[in-house]
């Protein structure tokens, strides 16, 4: 697709993306590489990253703080969608990718670059998410993916980098591959590649173990307005603070750990450990407030579409016509989703123990009660069932007599 002159690279500071800088220049003839790193709340991981990019040969290094859009524009819609890939994974890593790609494209435009690049390998989901998003937002930009093409082993990659002054990673402290942001940690590889092997406690970083979590239950109230969480324990908080607070409450009680086998886009099954305490807690509470405020047919239909929404996001189609249409449905479904859910956290568990909605509860005690104030018209049931069961009785008359 022709040579790129100036390329903006999605940069993480790791060996692969660092080696991408000299590689793009030497092997792809790129004149100028700009390194862009996204701050998604991953903390000290970003320390020294600017210097590292420049030392590796980047002409410019940019760090953009994307925490606010990450939570408001990506995590919050995922909570409204109860998004759980394969019914389990709340997409903590996946949700970040379209945002990073969108910013990458924006920076490329601002700096008048003619290409963008990333350092993903050819086995994972992230390459799919980056490529598909970039294609959707900027089909004209050249997309360079050296780590998918260079065919170097880890040792060869490190050796290549050393030639261009990239210091090899200090003796790898951990055998795991970890992705971190404000929504959680994803951990894979090393001993976890044996799916029957229990994860060592050392893999976890933001949730307490069962033995280290408090012996006393902790109650937490989560309040929603139009399907968005807006307050915790009665305290109104902005979206980023909601996530932080939910992370700390759930995390200290050991809730939010997942150990799953997951189907990657490229057809491979992989074993993943996740810690997503706040996100899982908020989704659980959101499902509950919906069960109180939405009618059964809407709940059922939404449940099916939620699966599809999560699949689309997992598979890289955040920016796509189908996802946008589903967003329209979900947004419409959330207008009456208001109220508060009470959850009890204890030793890795989170149990719903109460829910209320002052204006939108569809729970009518006069109808539900078994007591004397019952207002349900019992006699109407007979006629209803006569008609309801009619097709079934006809079937039996005709076929079973
Ligand atoms: N499998 C997850 C996903 O595709 C997370 C992968 C994150 N990377 C890692 N090093 N664990 O969303």
pLDDT of residue 1: 58
pLDDT of residue 374: 86
How far apart are the CA of 40 and the centre of ligand 1, in A?
15
Residue 374 bears catalytic tag: no
Q: Ligand 1 pocket, 16 CB below 6 A?
A: no
Atom of ligand 1 nearest to the CA of 176: 10
**Lookup result for tokens 């002052």:** 358
pLDDT of residue 376: 86
Residue 34 CA to residue 40 CA, distance in Å, equals 19
pLDDT averaged over consecutive 10-residue blocks of the chain (401 residues)? 89 93 96 97 88 94 97 98 98 98 98 97 94 98 96 91 84 82 96 96 97 98 98 98 98 98 97 98 98 98 98 98 98 98 98 98 90 88 97 96 70
pLDDT 10s digits, 331-363? 999 999 999 999 999 999 999 999 999 999 999
Please check whether residue 119 is in contact with residue 303, taking contact to mean a CB–CB distance below 8 angstroms: no
Residue 177 bears catalytic tag: yes
pLDDT of residue 368: 87
pLDDT 10s digits, 194-232? 999 999 999 999 999 999 999 999 999 999 999 999 999
Q: Give the pTM.
A: 0.95
214 CB-near residues (< 8 Å, 6+ apart): 252, 253, 346
Residue 170 CA to residue 158 CA, distance in Å, equals 11
Residue closest via CA to ligand 1's atom 8 equals 179
pLDDT of residue 170: 62
Cα→Cα distances 353→27, 290, 340, Å: 60, 15, 11
Q: Ligand 1 pocket, 181 CB below 6 A?
A: no
- Give the domains, in start order, of the chain with CATH numbers: 6-163 (3.40.50.620), 177-294+336-356 (3.90.1260.10)
pLDDT of residue 172: 61
pLDDT of residue 176: 92
Identify the CA nearest to 230 among candidates 41, 37, 71, 44: 71
Atom of ligand 1 nearest to the CA of 270: 1
Q: Ligand 1 pocket, 93 CB below 6 A?
A: yes
pLDDT of residue 171: 58
Indicate the top mutation candidate among 12, 88, 188, 311 to test ligand 1's pocket, ranked by most ligand atoms within 8 A of CB. Answer: 188
End-to-end, the C-alpha distance of the chain in Å comes to 72
Residues, the chain: 401
């Amino acid at each position: 697709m022709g040579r790129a002159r100036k390329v903006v690279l999605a940069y993480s500071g790791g060996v692969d993306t660092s080696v991408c800088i000299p590689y793009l220049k030497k092997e792809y003839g790129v004149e100028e590489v700009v390194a862009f790193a996204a701050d998604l709340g991953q903390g000290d991981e970003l320390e020294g990253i600017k210097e590292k990019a420049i030392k590796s040969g980047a002409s410019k290094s940019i760090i953009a703080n994307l925490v606010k859009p990450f939570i408001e524009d990506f995590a919050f819609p995922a909570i409204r969608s109860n998004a759980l890939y394969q019914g389990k994974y709340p997409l903590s890593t996946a949700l970040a990718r379209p945002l990073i790609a969108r910013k990458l494209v924006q920076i490329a435009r601002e700096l008048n670059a003619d290409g963008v690049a990333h350092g993903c390998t050819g086995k994972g989901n992230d390459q799919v998410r980056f490529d598909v998003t970039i294609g959707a937002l900027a089909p004209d930009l050249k997309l360079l993916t050296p780590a998918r093409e260079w065919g170097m082993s880890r040792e060869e990659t490190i050796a290549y980098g050393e030639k261009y002054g990239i210091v090899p990673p200090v003796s790898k402290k951990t055998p795991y591959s970890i992705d971190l942001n404000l929504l959680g940690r994803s951990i894979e590889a090393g001993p976890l590649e044996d799916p029957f092997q229990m994860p060592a406690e050392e893999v976890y970083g933001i949730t307490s173990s069962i033995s280290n979590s408090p012996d006393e239950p902790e109650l937490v109230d989560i309040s929603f307005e139009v399907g968005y969480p807006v307050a915790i324990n009665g305290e109104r908080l902005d979206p980023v603070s909601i996530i932080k607070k939910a992370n700390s409450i759930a995390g200290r009680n050991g809730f939010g750990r997942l150990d799953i086998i997951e189907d990657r886009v490229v057809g491979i099954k992989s074993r993943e450990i996740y810690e997503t305490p706040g996100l899982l807690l908020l989704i659980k509470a959101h499902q509950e407030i919906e069960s109180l405020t939405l009618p059964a047919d809407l709940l059922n239909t939404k449940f099916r579409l939620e699966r599809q929404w999560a699949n689309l996001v997992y598979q890289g189609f955040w920016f796509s016509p189908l996802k946008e249409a589903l967003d329209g449905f979900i947004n419409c479904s959330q207008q009456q989703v208001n109220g508060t859910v009470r959850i009890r956290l204890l030793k890795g568990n989170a149990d719903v123990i109460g829910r209320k909605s002052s204006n939108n509860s569809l729970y009518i005690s006069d109808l539900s009660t078994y007591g004397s104030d019952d207002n349900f018209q019992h006699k109407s049931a007979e006629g209803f069932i006569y008609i309801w069961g009619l097709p079934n009785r006809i079937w039996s008359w005709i076929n079973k007599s």
